[in-house]
Structure 1
Amino acid sequence: MKRIVLWIMMCLAISTKLSAKEEDLLQKLVPTGNLKGYILNNNEWIKYPAYNDRQAWIKLTGPLNKRLIEEGEQFLNYEWKVVKATDYLEFERTGNREVMQNPFGDNNRALITLIFAELAESKGRFMDQVINGVWQTCNMPSWVLSAHLIKQKTKRTIPDFREQIIDLTSGDIGSLLAWSWYFFNKEWDKTDPIISQYVKKSINERILEPYLNRSDFWWQAFSGVKGAMVNNWNPWCNFNVLTCYLLMEDDEAKKLAGIYKTMQSVDKYINYVKHDGACEEGPSYWRHSAGKLYDYLQILYNASGGKINMFSFPAVKKMGEYIARSYVGKNWVVNFADASAKEKEDYGLVYRYGKAVNSTDMKQFAAYLFANSNKDEVIVRERDFFRAIEFLDNYEALIKEPASVSKTPLTWYPETEYCFIKNTNGLFFAAKGGFNNESHNHNDVGTFNLYVDTLPVIIDVGVETYTKQTFNTDRYKIWTMQSDYHNLPVINGVSQKNGAEYKATNTILNEKEKSFSVDIAGAYPTNAAVRSWNRKYTVKPNGITMTDHYELLKFEKPAIQHFMTWASPELITPGKIALKKDGVNVYLNYEKDKFDAAFEKIDLKDIRLTRIWGDTIYRIKLTAKNNDLKGKYSFSVTR
């Protein structure tokens, strides 16, 4: 045991040292702080063919050429939707963000689909509709989502014409319009030069000027507040800003200043995230966090002719491989935090990232995802032009890659305190330590998920559709955020609390024993009166065991152990509960002399949950019979 503890401490020491040593990594690649001579001139870095090079586009789009054109044909008569003032106000009035996002999103999907159809065909058949979409977009008062407009100085959700802020979507639209301008500006000028000028003016006013002149956007992370959270917004927004500077800024000094400022900002993200590679926001956010960091690093690498290259840093590779290690099978993933339990990963992104960092795991995982995907789904699914065109450019290499899922039996993230263990009998176990102020946090320190033959049995419910409440002070009134709806105990009638100070301690992985242990007492407030609650999970050939060694300062109320499942629980006999779902049979075993069992049916109505779990999940409540201040509880889940 001493050797195991020493090994864990060494891992932590190494990772801490790594974080300290590698601060401001991007800026260190440009030691003078001056990008002159680093960024290629005249868009020499762009490898894609010119719009009117028909043969080159046929070659680039390859076997997908016809489908791109057919997808665009669906929008030849598309009626562009108006986002009304009351659509913006709806978020302020009721917390509903979909009312504004849906018509806006429909327009954006139509526009990018039409753009790629025109590039694939190169005959002008789609151009009028592209112009309509671009014109309609530029005529909007803002490209920012209603849910994010509260970051305006007015704190209201009607776009304020006196202020332009940058969020995820405004950045995406700026980037999309920048690429469309790059390919089509000469064609637009044949119709009317005002079109190109209007697009350029819009991007300058909404992206370039605000970014260069302001350093108070929270996601830039320039506040100077020590320990302030930096999440996926940082690489995502900076990627889009970088794209706009590369494609649209004519003033060389401003271009280089803007690009370098994005590097300074992204360094804040790289400094903040754990260098063990885990994504604390979960797999649903991987494409927007690590994935967007990759996009940013890739386009910066391209634009500098390879002079600014971060792909050899181990942390960047580990961040990429997380998506392969957290994959369970059949689109089921380990879904801590706000992540959903089922996710269709972007196989094009995974492949390109894997190629950049030389990860066989990632490249073959991408090939597996593609081989098991719906080949009839639309090619251009999001508003991200760079990812779509890079997918086309890498398509033939992707389909030739051998398909495989990572077979790594144990993955340990010592800084984030995530543990994934799987065996040859179809078990996949995941557990976490951490703290209750992670990005997209749920109060879930010490929880676990168990999958049998790729099917979730003991589950993390996930999160409902985002509303105003999701990201305000009432967040932890939402039931899915509370520890009572994770696989955790209620201690003395008290649940875990949110905040950075509520955290795990004594987190230990024993690789030989295939066990993970953590003291979760620190995740509970003082009124829980708990001195220690050491939980240990051990993965066995046919299941897992779980033991809780606890010590209380006083007894107030019996402990309640919760287990979340979507299998309808059946009490076979006191001490044994059957969980049967879709051909998978497992049993939750508990000490019948120490607990009384009860089952609670939870009816689901939110679409983000029902599309994963159906209409119903269950919460198993095991209420302790004893009032001992010190003791041990034992459980197991077996096949």
Structure 2
Amino acid sequence: MAERRAELYEFLEKYLGCMKENAVRMMDEPMPEADEELFSLFEKTGNRLRYEEVYFLRRKYLAVFGCLSILDGGEAYVKKLAGVLRGICGEECWALPAHVHRDTDPDWRICVDLFASETAQALAEIVSLAGERLPEDVRRLVRENVFHRVLEPFANRKPPYPPWEGAGHNWNAVCAGSIGCAAICLMREEPERLEPLLERLLMSLPHYLEGFSRDGACMEGLDYFTYGFGYYVAFADMLYRYTGGKTDLLAQENCHRIALFQQKCYFPSGRTVSFSDGSSRSGYQMGLTCFLAGRYPDMRIPPVACARDFEADSCYRFMQNLRDVLWTKAYLDRLEEEGRKNRRKMDGRQGEPVEKEPDQAPGTEAMVLADAQWNIVHGKSGGGMACKGGHNGEPHNHNDVGSFLYLLGDEMLLTDLGAGEYTKQYFGPGRYEILCNSSFGHSVPILEGRGQKAGGEYGCCGFAADGKGGCEISFAGAYGNSRVRDLRRLFSYDPGTEELKVVDELESEGDIPMRENLVTQFRPEIRDGRVWIAGEKYACLVETQDREGDFVIEEKRHFSHEGMPESVYCVSWKVTEADKTGRRRCCFHVKPALAGERKAHDQRI
């Protein structure tokens, strides 16, 4: 535990140091301007990133000087912050172009979306904590803007406020949590106005919790757990303190299960399950994790190297940044106090007290989230495999029922691409024409040249996992093909050898052409009738049975969530024809190989 405390102190030192380094660079630089030309790009081309780059750089100024004014209190920080606050209050619209409809809504400038809500929360908490160190006119300006742009539009509109109030996804938590925090900060002395607003928010937030599976999984992906639950917890903490402990939003058992979802998504190597709009390299918020670890004894802190530093969140959310410092400090203070108590209990006995270490990454080899229909197994190298059932109407859905990913160490050799670049098309009618959202961007069978269909009615009708590495998924219904009577996929993974066996069994009326499809971001090669996939440190080979003809390798283009182009390789092969009863079977093995084995093979030929 002493080593972990040292890591946390080092994390804090680097985090604060990064903010101060940014402050030095930004002190004499004006905030960039988000003009009409950039705002209109989304409407004209569907591009979100260029406007958002400027928008979030402005929020970086707010986060840097807001946090340092509160944590450090230096006069120069506060003076710069005052100018930043004036600039934010001078923005035409706090919402993003993707969330407003200028062509149909004459009041588009007032839109209580995610980022207007976040901005209101940040400004309200900053003036509440900085207090009279800020000029009176700035405090008045902030108050007027938060009320005019967010609190009053929400309070004055009949429920539900579209599209988030009462919803089962992150928007509900972020918007309601932000509004609740802002209201408590600015209306604490006006209970007659504050209480009805809080009551309304408390009617909305249970629906957010209902959006998680019964085993606590966030179907939108791990990053959306961090995002939505982070705002939920921030509001829960502020409300708990405001009510003197009478209202505790974290007392519900489902909150405990939700909190534990994060640690289930981490492989020992630090890579993460990337289903839906997730990421295979998700970082966690140290502040949120420390707060939850202080609340729930079985909450574990993943490797500190995986924690998000100040620059990791390109949206620079003040709420998270401030709590990364405050909540981590509070957790460290708690550990220090527990250490002192343990030493006192020794009563002068020789030797050091043995301290329980609750915050190490879990060593569980297999985790089954039966309601979410996820199966996650760790391998001895620190990698593992994960597969999913579910349906194709999930939040931030991908058509990926029956898909899987495979890692050796920290290299994902068979991948789930996770979230792509968010564009107008990404959340529009053309969503499933985008590789990462379609079946063709996942390791699932392709039937009659078609992937799975989108919609909650297309999904898994059977999911069973043994908690050791075995899993069976029945997912004929995901394809919406009436001629498909049954489609089963059986996984068998050995955590010791890290070998994975996959068997697909198809039963159909007549012959339905079937191809297997595997997805990787490492360039594969075909050698001796096998597929070789080699990373920098690890490699695997894929051996197939019931294959007809040659392998086909297609290089495709994927745009990452950050908008960067990446190469993706789809390896496919035709499965042998069905027998007279319409049954066909395909079996393939994924086996670890020494990274140098392919080099030796190259030298022999």
Same-fold call, TM cutoff 0.5: yes
- The answer as to whether partners of 2:419 and 2:561 remain within 8 angstroms in 1 is no
What is the rounded CA distance, in whole Å, between the counterparts of 1:555 and 1:326 in structure 2?
39
1:139-163 superposed Cα distances (whole Å, 9 cap, x missing partner): 112100111113x7x546xxx5576
* In structure 2, distance between residues paired with 1:593 and 1:599: 15
Given the alignment, which residue of 618, 622, 625 partners 2:576? Answer: 625
The residue that corresponds to 2:492 in the other structure is: 538
**2:492 aligned with 1:559:** no
Relative distance call for 1:76 and 1:287 in structure 2 (3 A) is same
Q: 1:69 and 1:454, CA in 2 relative to 1: closer, same or farther beyond 3 A?
A: closer
- Indicate how the Cα distance of structure 1 residues 64 and 410 shifts in structure 2: closer, same or farther if over 3 A, else same: closer
Note the C-alpha offset of 1:423.
3.5
Cα pair distance change 1:580/1:110, threshold 3 Å: same
Give the match for residue 569 of structure 1: 524
Q: Aligned partners of 1:567, 1:426: CA distance in 2, in Å?
A: 19
Select which of 198, 201, 206 maps to 2:144.
201
Q: Equivalents in 2 of 1:462, 1:580: separation in Å?
A: 21
The one-character-per-residue Cα deviations of 1:179-219 (angstroms, maximum 9, x if unpaired) are 22213442334xxx432222111111111111112224234
Distance 1:607 1:62 in 2: 29
Deviation at 1:437, TM superposition (A): 0.9
CA distance in structure 1 between the aligned counterparts of 2:74 and 2:180, rounded to whole angstroms:
30
Q: TM-score, normalised by structure 1?
A: 0.81
Partner residue in 1 for 2:420: 464
1:532, CA displacement in angstroms? 0.5
The change in CA–CA distance for 1:207 and 1:258 in structure 2 (over 3 A counts) is same
Cross-structure match for 1:523:
478
**CA apart distance, 1:608:** 3.3
Q: 1:321 aligns with which of 260, 273, 279?
A: 260
Q: Which of the numbers 339, 342, 351 marks the counterpart of 2:281?
A: 342
Aligned 8 A contact 2:110 2:149 in 1:
yes
The reply to whether residue 479 of structure 1 matches residue 435 of structure 2 is yes
Equivalents in 1 of 2:464, 2:265: separation in Å?
Answer: 19
> For residues 510 and 93 of structure 1, do their structure 2 counterparts lie closer, same or farther at Cα, with a shift above 3 Å needed?
same
**Same amino acid, percent of matched pairs:** 20
Structure 1 residues 448 and 346: CA distance shift in structure 2, 3 A: same
- 1 CA distance for matches of 2:440 and 2:447? 10
Deviation at 1:615, TM superposition (A): 4.2
Contact preservation (8 Å) 2:42, 2:97: yes
SS of the residue corresponding to residue 467 of structure 1 reads: coil
Please show how residues 271-282 of structure 1 align to structure 2 within 5 Å.
271-282=210-221
2:547 & 2:74 partners in 1: Cα distance? 78
Separation (CA, whole Å) in 1 of partners of 2:517 and 2:312? 42
For 1:389, the aligned partner's letter is L
Superposition deviation, residue 631 in structure 1? 2.6
Letter in 1 for 2:154: Y
**2:194 paired with 1:240:** no
| 1:402, distance to aligned residue in structure 2 (A) | 7.0
Select the residue among 447, 454, 470 that pairs with 1:498: 454
Partner of 1:548: 504
> Structure 1 residue 561: deviation in Å?
0.5
Name the residue aligned to 2:117.
Answer: 171
Q: C-alpha separation between the residues in 2 aligned to 1:411 and 1:147?
A: 37
> Which residue of structure 1 aligns with residue 322 of structure 2?
389
CA distance in 2, matches of 1:510, 1:402: 27
Give the match's secondary structure for 1:305.
Answer: coil
Alpha-carbon spacing, 1:508–1:378, altered in 2? closer, same or farther (3 Å): closer
Q: How does 1:93-104 map to 2 (within 5 A)?
A: 93-104=44-55
The answer as to whether partners of 2:546 and 2:585 remain within 8 angstroms in 1 is no
Tell me, yes or no, if structure 1 residue 182 matches structure 2 residue 182.
no
Q: Quote the offset at 1:252 in angstroms.
A: 1.8
1:66 shift after superposition: 6.5
Return closer, same or farther for 1:130/1:525 CA change in 2, 3 Å cut-off. same
Tell me how far 1:530 sits from its aligned partner. 0.6
Distance in 2, Cα, partners of 1:162 & 1:393: 36
Pair 1:601–1:427, CA change in 2 (3 A):
same
Query: Residue deviations 1:363-402, cap 9 Å, x none?
Result: x32xx22x56698x66997543333333322334656677
- Give the SS at the match of 2:397: coil
Q: Which residue in the other structure is 2:43 paired with?
A: 92
Tell me the equivalent position of 2:343.
none
Match of 1:105 in 2: 56
Give the distance between the partners of 1:142 and 1:419, measured in 2 at CA.
Answer: 43
Alpha-carbon offset, residue 587 of structure 1: 1.3
> Which stretch shows the higher mean deviation, 628-637 or 212-221?
212-221
Within 2, Cα distance between the matches of 1:162 and 1:323? 36
Counterpart position of 1:587: 541
**Structure 2 counterpart of 1:137, one-letter code:** I
Counterpart residue number, 2:80? 129
> Take 1:519 and 1:292, find their aligned partners in 2: how far apart are those partners?
36
Identify unmatched segments of 5+ residues in structure 2. Answer: 1-11, 336-356, 593-605
- Report if the CA contact (8 A) 1:65-1:120 is conserved: no
RMSD value over aligned CA atoms? 2.6
Q: Deviations over 1:545-588 (max 9, x none)?
A: 111121012224x21100001232222223x2222111212111
In structure 2, do the counterparts of structure 1 residues 211 and 423 end up closer, same or farther at CA, with 3 Å as the change threshold? Answer: same
Matched residue SS, 2:248: coil
Match of 1:446 in 2: 402
**Contact residue 235 and residue 296 of structure 1 kept, 8 A:** no
1:635 counterpart (580, 588, 594): 588
Count of paired positions: 552
CA separation of 1:378/1:435 partners in 2, compared to 1, >3 Å: closer, same or farther? closer
Cα 1:267–1:73 change in 2 (3 A) is: same
Match of 2:25 among 74, 91, 114: 74
CA distance in 2, matches of 1:380, 1:522: 38
- Partners of 2:570 and 2:443 lie apart in 1 by 9
More off after superposition, 230-239 vs 578-587: 578-587
What residue in structure 1 maps to residue 602 of structure 2? none
Structure 1, unpaired ranges of 5+: 1-60, 223-228
Structure-1 separation of matches of 2:460 and 2:415: 20
- Deviations along 1:578-622, one digit per CA (max 9) or x if unpaired, are 221112121111115545312112245657375xxx843311111
Matched, 1:231 2:169: yes
Deviation at 1:103, TM superposition (A): 1.5
Q: Does the 8 Å contact 1:490/1:559 carry over to 2?
A: yes
Deviation track 1:125-146 (CA, whole Å, cap 9, x = no partner) reads 2333212111111111210011
- Give the SS at the match of 2:169: coil
Q: How does 1:263-412 map to 2 (within 5 A)?
A: 263-359=202-298, 361-362=299-300, 364-365=301-302, 368-369=303-304, 371=305, 383-396=316-329, 404-412=360-368
Structure 1 residues 123 and 395, CA gap change in structure 2 (3 angstroms): same
Compared with structure 1, are the counterparts of its residues 357 and 374 closer, same or farther at alpha carbon in structure 2 (3 Å cutoff)?
closer
Q: TM (normalized to structure 2)? A: 0.85
The equivalent of 2:6 in structure 1 is none
CA distance in structure 1 between the partners assigned to 2:224 and 2:396 by the alignment = 9
Contact 2:117 2:150 in 1 (8 A): yes
Q: Which residue of 1 aligns with 2:349?
A: none
Q: Distance in 2 between matches of 1:460 and 1:63?
A: 32
Match of 1:578 among 514, 532, 538: 532
Change in 2 beyond 3 A, CA 1:119/1:430: same
Opposite residue 228 of structure 2, the aligned amino acid is S
Contact (CA 8 Å) 2:575, 2:586: kept in 1 or not? no
Contact 1:333–1:342 (CA under 8 A) maintained in structure 2: yes
Q: Against the structure 1 CA distance between its residues 552 and 242, is the aligned structure 2 distance closer, same or farther, given a 3 Å change threshold?
A: same
Alpha-carbon distance in structure 2 between the residues aligned to 1:246 and 1:333: 36
